[in-house]
Amino acid sequence: MSMSTRFNFTDMRHGTSLLKRGFAKMQEGGVIMDVVTPEEAHIAEDAGAVSVMALERVPADIRAQGGVARMSHPDMIKEIIETTSIPVMAKARIGHDDEAKVLQSLGVDMIDESEVLTPADPFYHIAKNDFTIPFVCGCTNLGEAIRRVAEGAAMIRTKGEAGTGNVVSAVQHARLVKEEILHAKNTDSNGIEEMVDVIMKGFNRMPSVSEFEISIKNTPFGSSSELKKEVKSILLEVIEMERLPVVTFSAGGIATPADAALMMNHGMDGIFVGSGIFKSSDPKTTAEAIVLATHRYQDPDSVAEASRMIGEAMPGLEIETLDVRMENRGW
């Protein structure tokens, strides 16, 4: 039997949960950078990024310009796919299955169901197990992370507060997830059941806005009873592993090499950087410096070297002054 007969390499690239998580695992220890042009994609690749996120506007511009933020134009995404040799990701709106279908058709390597874009569905996220390519989703706490994994996410990231250049929310989310995992580990069987019930409430938002006493028995992710079993299974896996069962990156507000090192030292598996690079005074050098600090985060001398490399970081925003808190998007 020939090699081509025995193996379908296209099927091997995409499809099963194992393969999706395997692709996410390949990004571990690296930096994923937001880019808006092929030129920026080349800067990211040359700096050592493991992947790029193709979008029309970095989060700082989305925040400043306001309005409805949607999936980027297919031509722009395709151009970046065709001009870089590293994996290309792209963002879809929360709950917008058809934006995700378009991105899958375009050939992106991973979809970010992103709170940076304007949510499309007020009740549910995308049923990610229905797709052949992996998804990354944001979280602010353990319950949110487990819901996204139950829906099929192959990678989780802290949401942070994108486009601010302020790392405080990313730190909050990383610390909270870690502490809630410790809480789960020290909880008895009754406590585990209570945690599962709390997590399940995130799938049951519709009754609160209905005029009638409706009861949700089926979701886009399966029946409520099946989903509850999956949530409990993931929670028990988290307790056994003492971490999330998928690769976990940090995102939102990372603007300096020291920020990247800080999040890696909080136990993150890698870093997403958006506005922090291309809103700095020297994007090329800033990209190289953040990659260096991410790789050598345990060595203060290397982080200091990376910090000396950069010019002026992007202007930052105080979280308390924001009109829109993107971290609150998603359920």
pLDDT tens profile 195-242? 999 999 999 999 999 999 999 999 999 999 999 999 999 999 999 999
* C-alpha separations of 122 from 93, 127, 213, 231 in Å: 11, 14, 18, 21
Instruction: Report the CATH number that the domain containing residue 20 is assigned in CATH.
Output: 3.20.20.70
Q: What is the mean pLDDT of residues 240-264?
A: 96
Residue 200 lies in a domain: no
* Residues 287-305 pLDDT 10s: 999 999 999 999 999 999 9
Average pLDDT in the chain:
92
* Residues 90-114 pLDDT 10s: 999 999 999 999 999 999 999 999 9
Residue 315 lies in a domain: yes
Number of domains in the chain: 1
Contact 244, 155 (CB under 8 A): no
Residue 319 lies in a domain: yes
Q: Among residues 322, 330, 285, which one has the least CA distance to residue 307? A: 285
End-to-end CA distance of the chain: 49
Enter the tokens of residue 5.
């007969």
* C-alpha separations of 120 from 94, 95, 99, 198 in Å: 6, 5, 10, 24
Residue 4 lies in a domain: no
Q: For residue 50, give its domain range.
A: 13-181+246-328
Residue 114 lies in a domain: yes
| Separation CA 156–CA 30 (nearest Å) | 14
Residue 186 lies in a domain: no
pLDDT given at position 11: 43
Q: What are phi and psi of 198, to 5 degrees?
A: -65, -45
Q: How many CB atoms lie within 10 A of CB 207?
A: 11
| Separation CA 283–CA 312 (nearest Å) | 10
pLDDT band at 1 (very low <50, low <70, confident <90, very high): very low
| Separation CA 161–CA 170 (nearest Å) | 7
Beta-carbon contacts of 133 under 8 Å, excluding residues fewer than 6 positions away, are: 14, 20, 104, 108, 109, 110, 111
Active site residues per annotation: 91
Tokens 């995404």, located at residue: 77
* Residues 108-148 pLDDT 10s: 999 999 999 999 999 999 999 999 999 999 999 999 999 99
From 32-46, 254-268, 315-329, the region with the lowest mean pLDDT: 315-329
pLDDT given at position 5: 37
pLDDT given at position 288: 96
Residue 149 lies in a domain: yes
Residue 191 lies in a domain: no
pLDDT given at position 244: 98
